[in-house]
Amino acid sequence: MSRYRSLALFLILAAVWGSAFVAISAGLEYFPPVLFAAFRYDVAGLVMLAYAAFAVDEWIPSGREEWLLVVVGAVLLIAAYHSFLFVGQQHTTAAAAAILVSLSPVLTTGFARVLVPSDALSPVGVLGVAIGLVGVAIVTQPDPSNLLATDVVAKLLIVLAAASFAFGSVLTRRIDASLPIEAMEAWAMLGGALVMHGVSLALREPVTPAEWAHLEAVGALVYLALVASAFGFLLYFDLLERLGAVEINMVSYVAPIFAALVGWLYLGEVIDLATGVGFVVIAIGFALVKRRALREEFGQLEIGGFRSS
């Protein structure tokens, strides 16, 4: 029974995070992109901080290493990732954005190997990273005669978002700090929101009270802050403990399916052939990069797909 519960929770998480890309597209019709992302984490950060204060004993960072962990998380995992993502998603579909973000686990492995030269990628691993980048090229479809086309630049910004998250993930793992992950996420969310408010002010993004009068705008913000961020991360923590890092990473390759489905139903977005092919190619790259971990992890699974706890 635990096996099926884990599978159900995994699919719920994939659905929540996949549909979040649709909520971003919907909200971008009303809010400036960076300010929209900042508002999202104003709310989500406060909710997560309240949860951290309730769930863990040491929820306030102390010492240089713990604050460094929070700063890296705030700047790279929250501010850079979401700023690039929200700006880029103004000019692409929710499904394409979700697919490009799924490159993140491939890039995470690549960055980890660069930062730890003694643990270099094997030739097959290098091939996997290269294949993942080919998948990005298929999705973005750059035109050599017009590399600065709006849709190409938008998709490349989303690739930068994935790279920011991947690099931040590697750095946070290398910082020797004992701060519980719930507390780290909460403080990183609030710090990232503060950084994004600063970026929004620097960009002179406009905001008017009329934006808050639209039910769709408020609904998108509430969904992203409370469902995709607060509830989504709590579900992620639970599954991380149940399934481990390798299996939970697979959510990146299920979420785009939900993004495509919800984007089609709610926004009328249609996924083209190139985007679908690019998704398959990126997934193949991930499988090659993580082949040993996948073999070890899934070799332990019972029939049904998830390990029984």
Looking at residue 269, its pLDDT comes to 79
Residue of 220, 206, 236, 264 whose CA lies nearest to 27: 220
Please state at what angle helix 104-115 crosses helix 150-174, rounded to 10 degrees: 50
pTM for this prediction: 0.83
Looking at residue 278, its pLDDT comes to 76
> How many CA atoms lie within 13 Å of 268's alpha carbon, on the beta-carbon side?
0
Looking at residue 304, its pLDDT comes to 40
Q: Over the chain (309 residues), what is each successive 10-residue block's mean pLDDT?
A: 73 92 93 95 95 89 91 95 96 88 80 66 72 73 58 88 89 84 92 97 82 84 94 83 68 83 84 78 76 62 39
Structure tokens at 193: 């929101």
Looking at residue 229, its pLDDT comes to 92
Looking at residue 244, its pLDDT comes to 65
Q: Report which DSSP code applies to 305.
A: S
Looking at residue 36, its pLDDT comes to 95
Residue of 30, 309, 284 whose CA lies nearest to 136: 284
Looking at residue 301, its pLDDT comes to 47
Contact 51, 165 (CB under 8 A): no
Looking at residue 294, its pLDDT comes to 61
Looking at residue 112, its pLDDT comes to 75
Instruction: Compute the C-alpha angle 250/253/258, nearest 5°.
Output: 120
What three-state secondary structure class fits 128?
Answer: helix
Looking at residue 204, its pLDDT comes to 92
Residue-range domain boundaries for the chain: 2-298
Looking at residue 303, its pLDDT comes to 38
Structure tokens at 96: 């394409």
Looking at residue 140, its pLDDT comes to 61
Residue of 140, 151, 99 whose CA lies nearest to 263: 99
